[in-house]
Structure 1
Amino acid sequence: MPINYAKHGPQSKRNTTVSEASTNGKKPQFIPFTRLEDAQAIRAAEFHPSGHLYAIGSNSKTLRVCSYPRIQELKAMREDHKPYQPAVLFKRFKHHKGSIYCLAWNITGDLLATGSNDKTIKLMRFNADVCDVEGGEAELTMHDGTVRDMCFMEDLTNRSSLLISGGAGDCKIYVTDCETATPFQALSGHSGHILSLYTWGGAVFVSGSQDRTMRFWDLRTRGCVNLITAPPSSAHGPGSPVGAVCVDPSGRLLVSGHEDSTCMLYDIRGGRIIQTFRPHSAEIRTIRFSAKAYYLLTGGYDNKIVLTDLQGDLTQPLSSVVVAEHADKVIQGRWHPTDFTFLTTSADKTATLWALPN
């Protein structure tokens, strides 16, 4: 059944933190709570499923796992708060031979994977209680170009984790059995670099590529089950390369961010574009729904972080508000699993945790 666009998202229990502020004429502004600094651009960030930790990967080849602040600290934050360096609980220099482009935790948080422009993936068992790697690490070498994105999926039949990875080079998406650290599928179809991968549960995931397409894949059929072409940038001509993709928790709504600074909302079950809009003035490289899909978080090469309100009729113009800003390009943004806070990485060599002051 297609989405009832006019009633997207629960209306009776709506989270009005941002939307109320914007409609009342007050611009909501997230404040940097912690700020990690590095010698080079920081690309990758991901919260641990518990929400107590987050991992950071940098162009300096350094992998860090940091402690998330206590909720009492966040609740006490004022507008004049000065960001401080987060507690780094785990640190590994020269984790890769090249820059760390992406990283991911599995759903239980005991596996951590990192991908690099050295064309390798490192897969590690991670003990969150002591914040350390257990045993050795597996190095995966099946890619012949930069590994740009990864996501974990659960193989319910065999009760094991699968790692989905993609990037440059042969433009194939590889599926790896994490128990044996062995790649066992190579999915072909894209003709350009794969820049983004996302799964929301089950056996299906979506990929976004420089070839201007998004593909849905089903591991049960071992192939592409749906192909979506980016909408034209103008009245004529091709669409724009896809820098980021995400699907809401219900699996009904796809959102994509593009090189031409547009976002597209797509009804997966109805098979049609709902609308395109432009929350940034430069390329979009990160996009994520908040926990209940009330808001969309986007970051762009215009240095800005934008929240778009998705409560209400999705066919109508959407309210987008700049809520935070870096000194250089925003590369990645991630919501906390439960709190109304988010983490961003930037070419300004920082990873920043943002929260709303009380």
Structure 2
Amino acid sequence: MFLFTPRGRSGSVGSVASTRRTSVSSDMESFRSRQPRMEGNLKWVDTLECSHEVMCCRFHPEGNVLAVGQADGTIKVFNPDTGQLLHVLSDDETIHTHLPVTSINFVIAMAGDDKIEHSHILMATYASGQIKFWHYTSGSCIHTIHEVRQTLTSAFTPSTEKFITAGADSEIHVYDTESKRKVFTCEPSDSRDLMNGHRLRVFALKFHPYEPNIFISGGWDDTVQFWDLRQKGSTRSLFGPHICGDALDIDPVHNHILTGSWRKENTLQIWDFNNGAKIKDVPIDHMHSSLLYCAQWLGKDYMVCGGCDHNMAMVIDRGTLNVTGQVYDLPQGVYCVDSTKTGAIHKLAIGSEHQVHIVKNEKK
């Protein structure tokens, strides 16, 4: 077991207008009085301090930049290797609305596009309904879309030619990346006898890595819906996961879906993408259990998840289903995790309260 003391850089205590369900624990003050702890195969790298509650985070695909979305609508961009704060992204609109950043995606230029203005771009969604494109090295907002709802999640097609957003209603909007115009809306039919879409708010979207028009979604209605961008309603669905955050992922090697649910039992589950059948419930004992906000595959051998109740994040071996590493005794629930996608050793970002803990997952 390893006890680490975060190195502070800057930070102040702020309030949050969260769009997610939060748990109120009677022993919250005892959590706040402890230092986070870590054990297993995880190695602490750094702790990044933020000025407000951390709601989402995303590594650049090359792993050299980490963007962190805060509850006040500010995005902080860090160098995850040095911990240096590189850029702070906000404008008059985000300052005025003062609502959380709900998702971040780096916009990778399409093959053959060498225009300098198409590099160093990220897209962020906000609980205010704003969708903003930032040139993050200059700190400039280059485009804003306004949706009349809380926008809670987003995803790009593998080619980045289109992107989709979802939120506090049943509609999934499809946009053209270059023009920023909405070109289509995926939504359920009006018939209550036909389950071809969501009935409650949507918190997670994920495109299939090899099928450019196929994506899945999850939310509060306990379903994962399968969609084709060329069709209005979903093509099929599976029932079970209660998703309240970025807790939906597709494994490109085995074509398996990973879901994390905000509930006490059967929180982490693996499904077959092809037929929607459940492959297994990942067994998590009481000492390791949390109501999950986030989950994703970690390379080809592991999965990582985090949540509240026990306020922890853990890495689980895909083959043995054993917990190989965990960060626990965090002051608040884990709203977000992300991992680097390159290199032999994956680096993890774990967001809790006003901090992002950077750790490495090392095999022993």
RMSD of aligned residue pairs (Cα, Å): 2.4
Which of 280, 291, 294 is residue 275 of structure 1 equivalent to?
A: 280
Query: Cα–Cα, structure 1 residues 179 and 294, in superposed 2: closer, same or farther, change >3 Å?
Result: same
| Residues 116-141 of structure 1: CA deviation (Å, up to 9, x unaligned) | 11111112345xxxx3356x522111
Is the Cα–Cα contact under 8 Å of residues 29 and 324 in structure 1 kept in the other structure? no
2:334 corresponds to 1:330: yes
Partner in structure 1 of residue 201 of structure 2: 193
TM-score (norm 1): 0.75
State how 1:137-286 maps to structure 2 within 5 Å. Answer: 137-142=142-147, 144-154=148-158, 161-168=161-168, 170-188=169-187, 189-201=197-209, 202-230=212-240, 240-241=242-243, 243=245, 244-250=247-253, 252-261=255-264, 262-279=267-284, 280-286=288-294
What residue identity is the alignment partner of 1:288?
A: Q
Cα distance in 2 for residues equivalent to 1:310 and 1:154: 25
Q: What code does the residue aligned with 2:74 have?
A: T
State whether residues 119 and 145 of structure 1, in contact with CA within 8 Å, keep that contact through their aligned partners in structure 2. yes
In 1, are the aligned partners of 2:62 and 2:340 still within 8 Å (CA)? no
Residue by residue over 1:49-89, the C-alpha shift from the partner in whole angstroms, topping out at 9 and shown as x without a partner, is 1211111110122111111317xxxxxxxxxxxxxxx1111
Could you tell me which residue of structure 1 aligns to residue 9 of structure 2? none
Displacement of 1:241 after TM fit? 4.7
Aligned to 1:315: none
Q: How many residues align?
A: 292
What's the offset of the Cα at 1:354? Answer: 0.9
Residues 99-150 of structure 1, C-alpha deviation per residue, up to 9 Å, x if partnerless?
1121111344643111111111112345xxxx3356x5221112x3322111
Contact 1:101 1:147 in 2 (8 A): yes
In structure 2, the residue corresponding to 1:132 is in which secondary structure? Answer: coil
* Separation of aligned partners in 1, 2:243 and 2:357: 27
Change in 2 beyond 3 A, CA 1:161/1:140: same
Does structure 1 conserve the Cα–Cα contact (< 8 Å) formed by 2:88 and 2:139? no
CA distance in 2, matches of 1:58, 1:45: 9
Task: Note the 1:268-347 alignment, pairs <5 A.
Answer: 268-279=273-284, 280-291=288-299, 293-301=300-308, 302-311=310-319, 318-325=321-328, 326-338=330-342, 339-346=345-352
TM-score, scaled relative to structure 2: 0.73
- Residue aligned with 2:234, SS: strand
Q: Which 5+ residue runs of structure 2 have no aligned equivalent?
A: 1-38, 110-118, 188-196
Q: Name which of structure 1's ranges 31-40 and 250-259 shifts more when overlaid on structure 2.
A: 31-40
Q: Distance in 2 between matches of 1:193 and 1:332?
A: 18
Shift of 1:331: 0.5
Equivalent pairs: percent with the same residue? 20
The CA distance in 1 between the partners of 2:251 and 2:234, in whole Å, is 20
Q: How far apart are the structure 2 equivalents of 1:267 and 1:32?
A: 34
2:40 partner SS:
coil
Q: Which residue of 1 aligns with 2:60?
A: 48
- Structure 1 gaps of 5+ residues are 1-26, 71-85, 231-238, 313-317
- Structure 1 counterpart SS, 2:253: coil
